Each structure stands twice: as structure tokens, then as C-alpha cells.
Amino acid sequence: MIASGETLKNLAEYSVLRTSVEDIINAHEEKSNLVYKYKLALKQVKLVNEASDVLFQMFLALKLTGKVMQESTYNWETFIFVIDNVIQKLLYMLKLEAYKKIKPDNARESDEEEINEMEIEIDNTFFKRRLMPQIHKSIMSSLYEGSIPMFNLFLSLRLAQTYKAISAGEHHFILKQLVELKDFKQWRSPDHDFVKISEVVDKMRHVSLRRELLRLYPDVARQVFD
């Protein structure tokens, strides 16, 4: 069969059209892929930022605990070193778990190279259920037993303010009222009465307390004091 010049021209135009359509499809797929990677990156950045905020609040709570309890605590370099070690151990455990799913019968920790090459997904669950509890545990192990309740109190207040459960004013108010109490450092000790029920509040302190509560919670406090 001999093709005419017109036929060849049509075939050439069709070939160009098909190539153009394929380029458009490929460009769309590439764009979709890039958009997906961009959204994934944003999600990961958000997770990392949130984790960084919590870790920084842990460090601030740790330093405040050391100051109040007169105890030596991690400096920033040591704190980062501890975090890095915890992350490396957890990532290896996740990779090992993923590797065992692929080779459930003959998986060995000696297959270190293959284990390290495993790809794992880091999500919010990793930060909240694995990383943060492990770092929190490591920090508590560095403190004297009597300082741990104070650290947990300071941390809970800082996180509550970070996540806007309480305001900066409320945070300051709670800490101020705490340190004004006698033997406040022993507030969680089962062998010590934190506050006696029969204890009478000083008149000047009562006035100050009333003023602060009315400022922070005007509607509720007014109902309590009226």
C-alpha cells in the first residue's frame, strides 16, 4: 500500500496531536504528584512544628523545675542529645517492625542494612504515642523522685497555654498562688498536708485573690463572691 502525500500529512499531524495530548496528561500527572508532595510536606512541617513546640515547652518546664527545686538539670545541648538518641532508637524500632512484616519467618536484627533501608511513615500517632511519651520518660528519669510531680505540673500548665486551654494570665495566676502556699514543693507528697481544710486565708491575700479571680473570670467569680 502506498500512502499519498495527504495521508502522510494527516498521520504526521495526528502524531503531533497525540504527542501533545500525552504531554498534557503527563504534565497533569506530574502536577498532581507535585501537589500531593507539597501537601504532604506541609503536613510534615506542621507535625514537626507541633513536636518542636512541645519539646521546647518540656525544656522550659525542666529548667523551671530545676530552679524551683534547686536541682541541676539538662542544659540545651544535653537535652537535644537525649532527644536525638530517643528518635534514632524509635525509628530503628519502626523499621524493624516494618521489616518483620515483610519477612515474618526469618527476620533477624542482623539484617541491619536491609532494616535501615526500610521506608516508614511518620505521622501524628508517632509523635503523640511514641516519641513524646518516651522523651517524657527520659526526662523524668533524670530528675529526683520528689521533683517529678513539680515538673509534670509545670509542663501541663505550659502545654495548656500552648494549646490555648488557658491564657498567659491564668498560667501566671496559678503559679503565683502555688508558690505562696507553705511547703508548696511537697504538694503531691502523700505524707504531707498540702493545705489544711481548717486553715484560714489571710485577709489581704483574700482581697488579692478576689481581685485576681474577678479579673480572670468576671462572671463566675462574681457569682461566687456575691
Q: pLDDT tens digits, residue range 142-154? A: 999 889 999 999 9
pLDDT at 138 over 90: yes
Instruction: Give 190-210 pLDDT, tens digit per residue.
Output: 777 766 767 777 788 878 888
Confidence check: pLDDT of 176 > 90: no
Using alpha carbons, select from 201, 72, 79, 212 the residue that is nearest to residue 135.
Answer: 79
pLDDT of residue 124: 77
At 7 the pLDDT is: 47
Q: Is the pLDDT of residue 167 over 50?
A: yes
Lowest mean pLDDT among 113-117, 155-159, 177-181: 113-117
User: What is the predicted pLDDT for the residue at 8?
Assistant: 42
Dist. CA 190–CA 32, nearest whole Å: 60
Which of 51, 72, 43, 66 lies closest to 135, judged by CA? 51
The cell for 51 is 513536636
pLDDT tens, position by position, 54-86: 888 899 999 999 999 999 999 988 998 998 889
Residue 134 has pLDDT above 80, yes or no: yes
Contacts of 122 (CB under 8 A, 6+ apart): 44, 47
At 130, list the grid cell. 511514641
Which amino acid, one-letter code, is at 5?
G
Higher pLDDT, 24 or 61: 61
Average of per-residue pLDDT values in the chain: 78
Is 0.95 surpassed by the pTM of this model? no
**DSSP 8-state symbol, 185:** G
For the record, the C-alpha cell of 24 comes out as 498534557
Q: Does residue 112 or residue 157 have the better pLDDT?
A: 157
